């Protein structure tokens, strides 16, 4: 798990002026909208006596109030009111909690969980089709009981479709003819790698999708990453009928992940909004059917976490983008961005210590009540990434 990236918090419509608790990167946060409707995210621990801010309420002045002793915190994490000291009391400088940059985008609320200044922050994965003519978006979320890296790498694996997805493969029935064709590099960027490839796919049986792909034959699809937890998947049923999916994943902890899926399609769109909403529902159902096929397999992978070395798996040429993804993770570990989840587990087991993901304000102010979350130290040189077996 890595700090200094943008993470999805919730769907835009979910967030109101009532505080909610969300868990990301093994830490709890309070999310809410201020008096102007802007999203906010703070560490969910009052620095007074450990009250959960998510159990409090939003005030007319745009602050969130702790339910334990009434301390109020702004969206910048600064305490503005300590009732027990009286109305005109001076507030101590250390009376603050970590506060994180937020954005409403693509129907989701995002938060930057880290301490980098704005000009150095990695971007949110762009969705160029969003709110453009000829494309329609749906948003859905679901939890999976496995590590987010396992989830991302599954999406970067073109070989599993033949055996896992009844919508994309022949379930191994054509093994004598089957092989993964050459992967074409696609949408490579400073924060990740991607590919497209052409393969044989069966006719679609679903009554809705059958309208767009009645016969089997050649089909094009591919995936790529943007940071450790953003992934795109393009499914081109034909030259003109496309489904573009953008997944923003939030690691709850090392064994649980919440997936936020923004699905774009340029098909199954009508002039009747009631029918579009019906089709939206059916598209979501289909997405969950495909996801359930992945979940059934990936939740049983061993080991549960990605092996620390590529020598512990027999990787193949079609695993090229998986290897590139792991190389990027090594780069970010070198920067000191990788959370030490083993040390975090030890800290949490003590039951008397709480940490926070460091926020940008820690670059300026040095006195904080909560300790920063432990990270692996910067490495002098990244371990060489072995190429896939030829």
Rg over alpha carbons for the chain, rounded to the nearest Å, is: 23
Q: What is the pLDDT of residue 182?
A: 86
0.85 surpassed by pTM = yes
Tokens of 197: 């490839």
**The predicted structure's pLDDT at residue 169:** 61
Per-block average pLDDT, block size 10, for the chain (390 residues)? 97 96 97 96 96 96 96 97 92 96 98 97 97 96 97 93 74 69 91 91 65 68 96 91 96 96 95 94 94 95 90 90 96 95 87 92 92 77 46
Buried b / exposed e over 228-244, threshold 16 CB at 10 Å, is: bbbbbbbbbbeeebbbb
94: region left, alpha or beta (phi > 0 left; psi from -120 to 50 alpha)? alpha
Task: Identify the CA nearest to 343 among candidates 321, 376, 370, 386.
Answer: 376
Domains and CATH numbers, the chain: 5-118 (2.102.10.10), 136-323 (3.90.380.10)
- In 3-state terms the chain splits into helix, strand, coil percentages (rounded to 5) of 25, 30, 50
Supply φ then ψ for residue 280, to 5 degrees. -55, -45
């Amino acid at each position: 798990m890595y700090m200094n990236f943008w993470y999805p918090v919730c769907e835009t419509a979910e967030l109101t002026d009532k505080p909610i608790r969300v868990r990301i990167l093994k830490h709890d946060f309070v999310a809410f909208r201020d008096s102007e409707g802007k999203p906010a995210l703070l560490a969910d621990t009052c620095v007074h006596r450990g009250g959960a801010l998510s159990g409090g309420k939003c005030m007319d002045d745009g602050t969130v109030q702790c339910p334990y002793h009434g301390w109020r915190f702004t969206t910048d994490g600064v305490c503005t009111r300590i009732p027990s000291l009286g109305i005109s009391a001076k507030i101590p400088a250390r009376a603050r909690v970590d506060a994180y940059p937020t954005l409403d985008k693509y129907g989701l609320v995002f938060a930057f969980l880290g301490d980098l200044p704005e000009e150095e922050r990695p971007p949110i994965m762009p969705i160029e089709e969003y709110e453009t003519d000829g494309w329609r978006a749906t948003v859905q979320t679901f939890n999976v009981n496995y590590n987010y890296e396992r989830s991302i790498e599954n999406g970067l694996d073109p070989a599993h479709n033949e055996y896992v997805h009844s919508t994309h493969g022949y379930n191994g029935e054509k093994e004598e003819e089957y092989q993964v064709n050459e992967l074409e590099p696609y949408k490579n960027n400073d924060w990740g790698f991607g590919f497209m490839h052409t393969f044989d796919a069966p006719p679609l049986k679903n009554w809705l999708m059958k309208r767009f792909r009645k016969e089997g034959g050649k089909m094009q699809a591919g995936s790529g990453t943007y940071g450790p937890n953003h992934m795109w998947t393009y499914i081109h049923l034909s030259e003109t009928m496309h489904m573009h999916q953008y997944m923003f994943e939030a690691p709850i902890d090392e064994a649980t992940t919440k997936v936020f899926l923004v699905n774009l399609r340029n098909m199954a769109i009508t002039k009747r909004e009631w029918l579009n909403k019906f089709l939206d529902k059916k598209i979501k159902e289909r997405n969950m059917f495909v996801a359930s096929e992945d979940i059934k397999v990936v939740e049983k992978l061993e080991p549960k976490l990605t092996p620390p070395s590529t020598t512990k798996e027999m990787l193949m040429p079609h695993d090229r983008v998986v290897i590139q993804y792991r190389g990027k993770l090594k780069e970010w570990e070198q920067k000191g961005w990788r959370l030490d989840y083993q040390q975090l587990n030890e800290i949490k087991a003590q039951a008397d210590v709480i940490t926070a993901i460091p926020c940008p304000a820690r670059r300026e102010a040095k006195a904080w009540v909560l300790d920063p979350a432990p990270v692996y130290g910067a490495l002098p040189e990244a371990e060489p990434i072995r190429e896939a077996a030829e």
